[in-house]
Amino acid sequence: MPKTLLAIVAHPDDEISTGGTLARYAAAGHRAIVACATRGDGVDAKIKNDAATPETLGRVRQQELAASCATLGLERPIVLGFQDGEVDAVPVDAAAERVLGLFLALRPDVVITHDPSGGYAHPDHIAVSAFVTRAFERAGAEIGPAAPRRLYYFALPRSFGQSLAAFRERRADIRGQQLGFVGVPDELITTQIDIHDYLDLKLEALAQHRSQFDFDEHGKPKTFTTSIPEPERSALFGVERFIRAAPTVSPDQRNEREDDLFAGWD
Ligand SMILES: [Zn+2]
């Protein structure tokens, strides 16, 4: 029975974090859709080349998001239209209301979003994680049969920061602050999806975000991911990692990590 996956992310290109998983389930015949909170055209947004100007950035990044989702074999993405860089200014319940509307329209079985640390404590990521979680919690009482059954957070284990200088040294310039990698305690990861077969597709989808990268002489984007050499790259990025936020996984079940978002589904 095909199921519907809905990934709700803050900015165009954040979908890449769970892109291999979405592509894998879409290829297996499930429905996979990305909803993006913003157009990615806030004050901290970067423009790396002539693909966009400050005036066109929002429109260009929506097109890049659509191209990325098409590359991954997903349905056309939905843009919620919150202001990039100001998502945390929206009251959680008001934003959750929008998400409940999405749940009613799309009837997702599984919802995926940012982990509560926001990866590197980006306030927009943290806000999206919070309002999607709130919507999930309200759904049972408010929309009954349209309520999704599972909530996952995509997450990077904190040990990546210890073992890899590239993670440790990476900084994002957000609201005048240099934000570094945070990640989640490794033991909180409940689920690992093997995406080795989709890693090339994922990098191709990433490259659709043209305005966000410098390109080398072969036309390949110079991204954080491609800066890490093989075989480390496949070892790190050939798997996407998640925390099953609801229903929760008990600590003794956690030793055996799930390898399927629908593990134990009846
Ligand atoms: Zn983001």
pLDDT per 10-residue tile (average), the chain, 266 residues: 96 97 98 98 90 94 98 98 96 98 98 92 95 98 97 94 80 85 92 96 94 87 82 89 94 84 88
What is the token pair recorded at 127?
């806000």
pLDDT at 266 (0 to 100): 76
The verdict on residue 132 lying in a domain is yes
Query: Is 218 inside any structural domain?
Result: yes
Q: Which residues constitute the domain of residue 91?
A: 4-246
Q: Is the residue at 158 inside a domain? A: yes
Is residue 37 a part of any domain in this protein? yes
CA of 9 to the centre of ligand 1 (A): 7
Question: Ligand 1 center to residue 80 CA distance, Å?
Answer: 14
* Domain presence at residue 200: yes
Structure confidence at residue 224 (pLDDT): 79
pLDDT of 228: 82
Q: Is residue 265 part of a domain?
A: no
- CATH number for the domain spanning 120: value is 3.40.50.10320
Residue 266: inside a domain? no
Ion ligand 1 residue ranges (Cβ < 5 Å): 10-11, 14
Runs of H (alpha helix) within 178-246? 199-207, 224-227, 232-237
Look up tokens 């998001």; give the residue: 65
User: 204: CA distance to ligand 1 center in Å?
Assistant: 18
- Residue 28, domain member (yes or no): yes
- Residue 168 · residue 181 · CB < 8 Å: yes
Question: In the chain, how many domains are there?
Answer: 1
Instruction: Report how far residue 184's alpha carbon sits from residue 25's, in angstroms, rounded to the nearest whole number.
Output: 25
pLDDT of residue 155: 96
Q: How far is the CA of 108 from the centre of ligand 1 (A)?
A: 22
